[in-house]
Amino acid sequence: MNYGKSVTVRPVRNGRGMVALRAFEIDDLICRIRGRIVTPKVVWGYWKTDPRRGANCYRFDSELYLDPEGEIGVFSNHSCNPNARLVRTKSGLQLRALKKIVIGREITHDYSTQTGADDIWTMKCNCGERNCRGKVTSVAKLPAAVLRRYQRLGAIPAFILETMTD
Ligand SMILES: C[S@@+](CC[C@H](N)C(=O)[O-])C[C@H]1O[C@@H](n2cnc3c(N)ncnc32)[C@H](O)[C@@H]1O
Ligand SMILES: [Zn+2]
């Protein structure tokens, strides 16, 4: 697996995770999240045969998911106090810095920002942050102040926000 020059993969608090090999300024591109675009049916299949793979899939738009198997995207851990955000572009997903990131720091994003109101996935959180929510759920269940802050920072893709009004 080629991680590029900006990030590497190391043992961290929650298994292996992405770690910065260079400093990032706010909004810098950290890496692209590449993978195979799959249907919800395929993701359900993973949940039955390979739950790890199912859990790793990113929401790609209102109908599709992205399976990052074999790519750096399988190593982005969740934090309730993340330093990166996911951005959806025409061609794919990018991980961009939400705050300054120093060399050696783990790069994390908030999984709730890419979990639609219509997704049933949840995860017990072990991020260890002071503001840890304990359980990671969908965007619809984010505390109002956290949701507002993420919206102000552009940390929630439009297609995820739309699942709250569908
Ligand atoms: C995209 S993978 C990240 C790489 C993973 N840590 C590994 O070692 O393969 C996502 C998985 O990492 C674990 N994970 C990530 N963030 C976590 C957190 N804040 N608390 C508990 N487990 C976490 C969960 O098992 C989750 O399904
Ligand atoms: Zn947490």
Domain CATH number, residue 137 = 2.170.270.10
- Find out whether 6 and 84 touch, Cβ atoms under 8 Å: no
Provide CB contacts within 8 A for 59, sequence distance 6+.
Answer: 65, 66, 114, 115, 116, 119, 157, 159, 160
Overall number of domains in the chain: 1
9: three-class secondary structure by DSSP? strand
Please indicate, yes or no, if residue 1 is contained in any of the structural domains. no
At residue 90, the pLDDT reads: 85
Please indicate, yes or no, if residue 2 is contained in any of the structural domains. no
Please indicate, yes or no, if residue 126 is contained in any of the structural domains. yes
Structure confidence by residue, pLDDT tens digits, 105-161: 999 999 999 999 999 899 999 999 999 999 999 999 999 999 999 999 999 999 999
Structure confidence by residue, pLDDT tens digits, 30-81: 999 999 999 999 999 999 999 999 999 999 998 999 999 999 999 999 999 9
Predicted TM-score of the model (pTM):
0.96
Distance from C-alpha of 137 to C-alpha of 150, rounded to nearest angstrom:
15
At residue 3, the pLDDT reads: 75
Query: Does residue 76 line the site of ligand 1, with CB under 6 A?
Result: yes
| Residue 110 CA to ligand 2 centre (angstroms) | 9
- Band (pLDDT 50/70/90 cuts) for residue 1 is low
- In angstroms, the Cα distances linking 133 to 15, 56, 112 are 19, 20, 11
Provide CB contacts within 8 A for 16, sequence distance 6+.
Answer: 9, 10, 75
Enclosing domain of residue 87: 7-162
Question: Is residue 9 over pLDDT 90?
Answer: yes
Please indicate, yes or no, if residue 50 is contained in any of the structural domains. yes
Specify the residue with its C-alpha closest to ligand 1, atom 27: 55
- Find out whether 81 and 129 touch, Cβ atoms under 8 Å: yes
